[in-house]
Structure 1
């Protein structure tokens, strides 16, 4: 039965003590940080019998804040300090030993998997291997339960823990661990695996502390050691049901601000559905983290270049329309996209990368995912669809969405199709050389002012990049059928050919062949007005993109010539 929320629903104030609603004598002191993957939030719980620190975090300064808050309340007769973990990832406990010295004497009570990982300094389960962190040497005082076959001294437990079966729905039940806090007050713990095999949630009155459960399907987090999408889906639904049943008002997350439970229900249920979709993700280990963070830097530069091209062309169109006296049309063109917001978003990402001072890994990846999603909301290509080659606009959308998919480690097999490489290369060249304005169309619009302005705008926007470029294509005699993402390959080939045309290369040779290395498309630029040098960032972009498309992109230097190869 759902409890009516007739009580106060104000969230607890960070860095202040307040009574936990739904309890008689339990107080909470939340330490809420600016969202960061480097250190979690922490929550101090105070009852007449003990202090409880949930997820002390990895930042020594946060530990000092915890110590000060507890010492100010402890009095002359110290009551014990216990440490609960929502899970044993390093951002939640790395500095825990600073609460376990002789003056403070904090004691850890956690899930058995977390206990074993902490005591054996397991670098995989704790994710210490992701950034080279040095794990603390510490002992766990107790476990919420002991594995079958292990005998525990229950009389020597620092806290009495009662285990009950809690029915969730239709016969499905989980174990609930009840810790008496004083009088009628109880703290209830639940095993909610998925984000990590040791994940726990804690109900204190009308609050539930959920750790990273709400982030478990986030790109850059999904797929880590111990991650299980099916268990995440069940755990998210379980917490929603427990929350409704107990009249929960707020969720206390491991990262980010305290959340209103009613709003969180939607997030949890949508995340549960998303989790079920994320099958067979690639393992998100240190090697993959380093690769993705480098890809994120490439993404930033490529996106920045594309937005610069778009902004410059819109300015050009607006300028000429204004000169022709079409002031309203000129203003309309400039407002087609929010260039200022796009520039600001790119600058924010750039500044973030600069602040990291060369560091790579999860922070870069999560920021890049945030950047991609923000740009997707701002950038609406349909508003400028008549002013740019559709392939060009599609490229930026695919660039951003594919990055998120790559972070997840999702491979959409249905995007890979069997196609004739010869036909695809010929089709790509034909598309690049095709004129995007009809020669006589403008004369047909003279009787309609708006149609005339639209046609005039298209002509101003049109940039015949390949008008002076000569292509020579030598197809393989035997039709080279390959399996890859055809659209993405065409975009990558177009991106390379555009760079050659911009550099003034007037002759480009393309050749397909089959051999021991597979099927190869070789692109050889002829002499240009100036030496052609493919920027390193563009080279990396093409390499990353071809990897996603299902092939390899590389450069070969032969007899003072550079040959660019697409290998399948």
Structure 2
């Protein structure tokens, strides 16, 4: 937000006007630097009101004393450069010179929807001329000085390099305007191939480097993990030189040097984990949007069940006179906070559905909600009273959101199992909750343990007694590679969804196929247009299964196919429920 001009130390009389915003993927910060002979705009943002404020400030500053105006872009992503694109005719008529690193300059001049990430915002852009190409390939290879013309003014560029370590070189370019104003730009690729830092006096404008490992940012067109890690090392050297007093972000508030160094350390740790991520392109964006919708539905269901069971437990414990125990379980999970997060997300989803938010905003909102819920869950103790399957499904839901956005297929707990034996044991346990009663009997001599076992029994009632679950197993063993706990949790959720719609029976058939093994789940409540098909396709994919709804001869079933991991797989036709 616009405020007072701030003097920039070590700049020879330059001052700074801030146009900072709450972090927003659709519009960056902008910074106006006023020197005795020049006005420099660092990034323009993309919001029209934001841009109008910048234009008004330029006009006001030049009304006092006319100066040449230039725009320096930290990189060419649309949220930073849209003002240059949208108002190119005004920029041309006002003789404003545009500066960008060579890769970004070429992308802007070509109207490249990929490099500018305009495609991720659903926008088409027109080419825009860039007057000065900074830190070109030739500059970096040869160094030295060159002079360019920019809107009738002469600009001198002087390039050199600093060896950071055995593997890393920091390229820098000193820019001297005709007015005598100077600044220095540093090549910092990774977030994008054209990312630069801009230094004026003791202030450093660092673009989006600190956000480069964030979900929905990492993996953008030509994002490069190795280059990012090298830029982090170069940035650390620059900040530890003692020549920088303050850093200004591309989004959000500015940071002290010590805070920036700390953030770079965290960024480096996160970046090292992301070397296997997929490109965050329009296809990945659409998959992430689809998952975000699913997450909103599933999180609402799961937390309603967990919260309802805890309140149910508290009520019965109070009836039994166990007031302290009742309060403990009522406060076990911060349900009010989680309800607030989900309500906020639901409202945002409504705005997205109405076209007032765009896809990338919706996905990043989902990521934000995941972070908030994870912090609440992280502060809540694991408690044996809570249904372990429900808690695991919540955690899967949250971690899978990030995996979907990053394009990671993390199957860390897969192992070779006998699918037939696994599901026989699962159905037997599902149909027999007596282990909860056994726990109460075993704890009869220990009051504290007995209260815990009693609470677990009350909190885990047999809700769907009217639904009969059975399993039919063909020749065995049926070895497959999967995460058995996650697979059974997925089937538990499926049974609960079917039972909630009035299912009287659920039949699980397991059989070998020529390619591996297949689970077929049939129920009188299933139909070809069952609304949760997409959710379960994604859920079972995380276990290594290909899931689809099949209909034949008036019968509908869910089929989950696994590839064979062992020669012992039994060849035969896929199971067809009867």
Task: Mark yes or no: TM-score above 0.5.
Answer: yes
In structure 1, what is the Cα distance between the partners aligned to 2:244 and 2:3?
21
Change in 2 beyond 3 A, CA 1:456/1:482: closer
Q: Where in structure 1 are there 5+ consecutive unaligned residues? A: 1-12
Match of 2:218 in 1: 222
Q: Distance in 1 between matches of 2:270 and 2:370?
A: 18
Structure 2: segments with no counterpart, 5+ residues: 563-578
Among 290, 293, 306, which residue is 1:297 paired with? 293
Give the structure 2 partner of residue 5 of structure 1: none
Query: Is the aligned partner of 1:542 residue 2:532?
Result: no
Give the Å deviation of 1:187: 1.5
**Structure 1 residue 246: deviation in Å?**
3.3
Confirm whether residue 40 of structure 1 aligns to residue 28 of structure 2: yes
Which of the numbers 156, 160, 164 marks the counterpart of 1:160? 156
Within the alignment, does 1:90 sit opposite 2:56 as a pair? no
Equivalent position SS for 1:463: coil
Corresponding residue for residue 126 of structure 2: 136
Tell me the distance in 2 between the aligned counterparts of 1:115 and 1:256: 25
Deviation at 1:414, TM superposition (A): 4.0
- Cα distance change, pair 155–553 in 1 and its aligned pair in 2 (3 A): closer
Q: In structure 1, what is the equivalent of residue 452 of structure 2?
A: 454
Contact 2:334 2:376 in 1 (8 A): yes
Is the contact between residue 489 and residue 546 of structure 1 (CA under 8 Å) also seen in structure 2? yes
Q: Matched residues in 1 for 2:334 and 2:8: separation?
A: 45
| 2:196 maps to 1:200 | yes
- Name the CA distance, whole Å, in 2 between partners of 1:536 and 1:96: 48
Q: How far apart, CA to CA, are the structure 2 residues paired with 1:387 and 1:428?
A: 20
1:251-400 correspondence to structure 2 within 5 Å: 251-356=247-352, 357-358=354-355, 360-380=358-378, 383=381, 385-400=383-398
Please list the CA deviations of residues 173-202 of structure 1 after superposition, one character each: whole Å capped at 9, or x if unmatched.
Answer: 322111236999742100100010111111
5 Å-filtered alignment, 1:97-116, equals 97=85, 98=87, 101=90, 102-116=92-106
The size of the alignment, in residue pairs, is 552
| Deviating more after overlay: 215-224 vs 387-396 | 387-396
Contact 1:100 1:106 in 2 (8 A): no
C-alpha separation in 2, matches of 1:168 and 1:432? 60
CA displacement 1:412-468 (0-9 Å, x = unmatched): 354443332212222322332342645365466566543443333222212124655
Matches within 5 A, 1:164-183: 164-169=160-165, 172-180=168-176
For residues 291-346 of structure 1, give each alpha carbon's deviation from its aligned partner in whole angstroms, at most 9, with x where no partner exists. Answer: 11111111111011111001111111111111222222211111111111010111
Q: Partners of 1:307 and 1:247 in 2: how far apart? A: 51
The offset of 1:256, in angstroms, is 1.5
Question: Which one of 556, 560, 566 corresponds to residue 560 of structure 2?
Answer: 566
The residue matched to 2:429 in structure 1 has which SS? helix
Contact 2:37–2:181 under 8 Å retained in 1: no
Question: 1:423 aligns to what?
Answer: 421
Native 8 Å contact 1:513 1:519 kept in 2? yes
Query: Structure 2 residue aligned with 1:249, among 222, 245, 267?
Result: 245
Cα gap change, 1:59/1:469 in structure 2, threshold over 3 Å: closer, same or farther? closer
Which one is further off, 464-473 or 292-301? 464-473
Among 53, 62, 71, the alignment partner of 2:59 is 71
User: Helix, strand or coil: the match of 1:498?
Assistant: helix
Question: How far apart, CA to CA, are the structure 1 residues paired with 2:146 and 2:246?
Answer: 36
Deviations 1:7-33 (A, max 9, x none): xxxxxx853211112323111111112
> Residues 384, 466 of structure 1: CA spacing in aligned structure 2 closer, same or farther, 3 A cutoff?
farther
Deviation at 1:88, TM superposition (A): 0.8
Asked if residue 556 in structure 1 is aligned to residue 550 in structure 2, the reply is yes
Aligned to 1:4: none
Match of 2:14 among 17, 20, 26: 26
1:525 to 523, 526, 551: 523
Residue-by-residue CA offset, 1:326-371 (whole Å, 9 max, x unaligned): 2222111111111110101111111111222255522111111111
CA contact (8 A) 2:232 2:268 kept: yes
Aligned position for 2:498 = 500
| Other-structure match for 2:575 | none
Structure with the greater relative contact order (CA < 8 A, sep ≥ 6): 1 or 2?
Answer: 1
State the SS of the aligned residue for 2:240: helix
TM-score, structure 1 normalization: 0.90
**Deviation of 1:104 (Å):** 2.5
Write the deviation string for residues 502-532 of structure 1: whole angstroms up to 9, x where unpaired. Answer: 4443432221234467632111114xxxx55
Distance 1:265 1:512, change over 3 A: same
3-state DSSP of counterpart to 2:172: strand
Structure 1 counterpart of 2:40, from 52, 60, 85: 52
1:183/1:111 CA distance change after superposition, 3 Å: closer
**What is the root-mean-square deviation in Å for CA atoms of aligned residues?**
2.8
Residue in structure 2 matched with residue 8 of structure 1 by the alignment: none
* 2:187 counterpart residue number: 191
Judge which range, 228-237 or 182-191, deviates more.
Answer: 182-191
Q: Deviations over 1:484-505 (max 9, x none)?
A: 4443322211211222334443
1:201 and 1:210 in contact (8 A); partners too: yes
Identify the range of structure 1 (550-559 vs 67-76) with the bigger mean alpha-carbon deviation.
550-559
Aligned partners of 1:66, 1:504: CA distance in 2, in Å?
60
Q: Residue in 2 aligned with 1:475?
A: 473
Structure 1 pair 447/291, CA: closer, same or farther in 2 (3 Å)?
closer
Residue 566 of structure 2 corresponds to: none
After superposition, give the CA deviation of every residue in 1:91-148 in whole Å (9 maximum; x if it has no partner): 1112214265255222111111111111111111111122321213321111114444
SS at match of 1:424: helix
Q: Secondary structure at the match of 1:555?
A: strand
The aligned runs of 1:484-499 (5 Å cut-off) are 484-499=482-497
Contact kept, 8 Å, 1:290 with 1:360, in 2: the verdict is no
Describe the SS at the equivalent of 1:105. coil
Give the Cα separation in 1 of the matches to 2:440 and 2:472.
38
